Structure 1
Amino acid sequence: MSTRLIIPANFSYDDPLPFTCNQDSHVMLSILEYLVQATYLSVSAVLNSMIVYTIFRCKGKHSYRRNPFFVLYAAEAVMNVYSCVIEVLFGRLIIYMTPLCPALSPFFFTPSILTKLYFLLNHYCLAFKTLSQIAISFNRMTCVIFPVHHFKLWQNILAPVLVSLFVLPLGVTWNILVSRVYVNPNGAGFSVNYRDAVAWANISFLHLFHCIPCLFLMIVFFLASIFGLTMLENRLRSAERSLIIFTMTLGVETMLFAIAQIYFAFLAGYLPGIRPLMLLISFNVFDVLYVYSPIALILMNRQLRRDIFHLKGDDPGFLSASSHNQPAARVMAPVMH
């Protein structure tokens, strides 16, 4: 029989919220599900770590750090590594390792700094990824629209953009800081949830506040990028086309996440029947991107692939729209193959 956590109408911040774990009739299946998710999340963490290491290790002619696209991707990759590691070690562990539920859950019936940090940083990373899609999409647009001035433009704006990426997600998480974070039954395990202290500033609404401008701007940047591609030389167009497709595919994640947040913020009470589907989308949409983004970037970028795995081969060249007409600044181009 399923157990629900019933939250009293009035309770203080420190009141315990106990519950009894549900019985799991398919323990081995739950453990297998955890192992599958832990495997692909671990692969994502390893690949993203290798990409970040390569970006900051290579110097001179092959310096990825001089290319703003790779710097922006590295910032997002760091967030991906954290998200994957914490999910493997805590988030998915408490959901799917059901024999742990009776032993671990009592430690979190009262407020815990661990669950508070986990929940807060989880939503911080989600907001960061949403905003980083704007920055990466804008970077690709300027690369094809302003190929001559792209490098100089990003020399001036890269630092402020990075600062904004790390500061603006706080606009999503501030309500969590003052709210009660608790654990509740999830299947035969348990997961982390919260009760907002400021009712109008629920987490779905705040995520949506970021997602809507993000979607609008990404559509504008995508259309402008497509137009810019038609203006490039064929040699440069083929390289930039692949990277723009890669960037727009990442943007699909933001669109699906926004749809889920629209539902939870405004429609959950009117359309309860599709709640399982929305939970599935919200829960798994980032998993797909965690795995897709590092694998796709490594497969599509020949030079990055060679540098990561120390493969031998001829220098594929480094010219692209981002370094076109910039002979003094040999910025390594995202040559995609």
Structure 2
Amino acid sequence: MDESSCGELCISCDLNTLIPLLYTIPTFILYFITIRLIYKNKEFHSLFYVHYVTIAVGNCLFWISQNILDRLLRLTIVCSFFLEHFGEPNHWFFVIKLIYLYCPLLIFLTSTLLILNRLTAICFPITLHNVWQNHQKKIVLFQFILPIVFGFHAIPWQISLEPVRWRTGLFVNYITTWPHLPLGIANSSVGAVCVFIMIISTSYTFYIISTTKIRSQNNKNIEFNLFLTALFLSSITIMFCAYQIIYFTTSQTRNRRAFYTVAKYRGPIVDVYSLLPAWVFALFQKRIRDNLFRRFHLMKPRSPVTTTPFNQNILISV
């Protein structure tokens, strides 16, 4: 395809492509600082924070791959470059698609493990130590390997880009060894199972909290804040799982109008799904938030309090 025809089919740069960068760049910076803070402080070296780091990295990679396949292709110069270099079937472009497929499965599973971790922490504290902490490396290895099992059929794909007169100007055409149907089944099945487990676990945890005296424990505030964090992160994942099921279901139907309608909102939904967890985590985790404030000098140090005891000696307490 010649360069002039590429330019005619590519959509010019618009504000919808560039505006997301205004809130994405600060969010990525927040992700990076939070991950570095967790890595540097030993008090955060628990499986809960390992799960969050996994979700954070997965969200960043998923957002990047999604926007390469969607928003970035709307830019005329990028559109022309991609058509020139990936217009023929090749095995290079599938790497982006593989990340795009792998990350949601990883996040679905990690969010489920996160809520299960909080369930055992509140309801079965002994199990938390015996299972989660003693087998931490095995659990982390499991959560990275299992998505590969469900997404293995994506590996032999050859991918080419062909121009079509639609929303983005480009359509990613897959020449696959495996049919498209297993992809939708795998993603929908994993999403449905994870949603079911997260809903049941959350409901049971709330039931235990409301019917027992667990709130009287010394570490009640920390544990409950961790549970709220896991709850909100899981809620975001549940909503995206529901969207993924609808997206892949409509992609298998002959009603292309329904699929294009669902796909139209994919960009904003991916933004919420990938970027909101960074702010939710910083909002609910007081220790993380305080460390961030100190890092940017937004928190004033506590002023010393002076007291005068009976012996007239000045004592200073901080």
Q: TM-score range by the shorter chain?
A: 0.7 to 0.9
Aligned partners of 1:251, 1:22: CA distance in 2, in Å?
Answer: 43
Letter in structure 2 aligned against 1:74 = V
Paired residues of 1:80 and 1:290 also in contact (CA < 8 A): yes
Name 1:76's counterpart in structure 2: 55
**1:203 correspondence with 2:188:** no
2:258 aligned residue (274, 286, 294):
274
Name 1:8's counterpart in structure 2: none
CA positional deviation for 1:40: 2.5
Name 2:273's counterpart in structure 1: 289
Q: Secondary structure at the match of 1:194?
A: strand
1:205-260 deviation per Cα after TM superposition (whole angstroms, max 9, x unaligned): 11112112111111111112112323212565554444333323333343333334
Aligned partners of 1:49, 1:157: CA distance in 2, in Å?
Answer: 27
2:156 aligned residue (178, 201, 207):
178
1:176-219 deviation per Cα after TM superposition (whole angstroms, max 9, x unaligned): 21222222446354354424322265322111121121111111
1:106-144 deviation per Cα after TM superposition (whole angstroms, max 9, x unaligned): 210123444111001111111111111111111111111
1:67-90 deviation per Cα after TM superposition (whole angstroms, max 9, x unaligned): 2211111122122233344556x4
Counting only pairs closer than 5 Å after superposition, residues 31-70 of structure 1 correspond to structure 2 as 32-59=15-42, 63-65=43-45, 67-70=46-49
Paired residues of 1:22 and 1:188 also in contact (CA < 8 A): no
Q: Secondary structure at the match of 2:134?
A: helix
Please, which runs of 5 or more residues in structure 2 have no aligned partner?
303-318
Letter in structure 1 aligned against 2:103 = C
Letter in structure 2 aligned against 1:169 = P
Aligned partners of 1:140, 1:101: CA distance in 2, in Å?
Answer: 45
Paired residues of 1:58 and 1:64 also in contact (CA < 8 A): yes
**1:301 correspondence with 2:280:** no
Name 1:156's counterpart in structure 2: 134
Aligned partners of 1:252, 1:198: CA distance in 2, in Å?
Answer: 32
Letter in structure 1 aligned against 2:54 = A
> Relative to structure 1, is the Cα distance of residues 166 and 240 closer, same or farther in structure 2, using a 3 angstrom cutoff?
same
2:205 aligned residue (214, 225, 228):
225
Name 2:76's counterpart in structure 1: 98
Paired residues of 1:109 and 1:182 also in contact (CA < 8 A): yes
Aligned partners of 1:87, 1:265: CA distance in 2, in Å?
Answer: 15
> Relative to structure 1, is the Cα distance of residues 241 and 43 closer, same or farther in structure 2, using a 3 angstrom cutoff?
same
Q: Secondary structure at the match of 2:131?
A: helix
CA positional deviation for 1:162: 0.8
Paired residues of 2:115 and 2:201 also in contact (CA < 8 A): yes
> Relative to structure 1, is the Cα distance of residues 218 and 74 closer, same or farther in structure 2, using a 3 angstrom cutoff?
same
Letter in structure 2 aligned against 1:83 = F
1:130-181 deviation per Cα after TM superposition (whole angstroms, max 9, x unaligned): 1111111111111111134423431123222211111111123322212222
CA positional deviation for 1:280: 3.7
Aligned partners of 1:143, 1:134: CA distance in 2, in Å?
Answer: 14
Name 1:328's counterpart in structure 2: none
> Relative to structure 1, is the Cα distance of residues 294 and 261 closer, same or farther in structure 2, using a 3 angstrom cutoff?
closer
Name 2:229's counterpart in structure 1: 246
1:273-296 deviation per Cα after TM superposition (whole angstroms, max 9, x unaligned): 432342145443332022211111
> Relative to structure 1, is the Cα distance of residues 141 and 102 closer, same or farther in structure 2, using a 3 angstrom cutoff?
same
Letter in structure 1 aligned against 2:50 = V
Q: Which moved further from structure 2: 168-177 or 145-154?
A: 145-154
Paired residues of 2:48 and 2:114 also in contact (CA < 8 A): yes
1:2-61 deviation per Cα after TM superposition (whole angstroms, max 9, x unaligned): xxxxxxxxxxxxxxxxx8565567x35x2x2222123333222221111111111013xx
Q: Give aligned-pair identity as a percent.
A: 18
Aligned partners of 2:233, 2:24: CA distance in 1, in Å?
Answer: 17
Please, which runs of 5 or more residues in structure 1 have no aligned partner?
1-18, 315-337
Paired residues of 2:159 and 2:174 also in contact (CA < 8 A): yes
Aligned length: 289
4+ long deviations beyond 6 Å: none
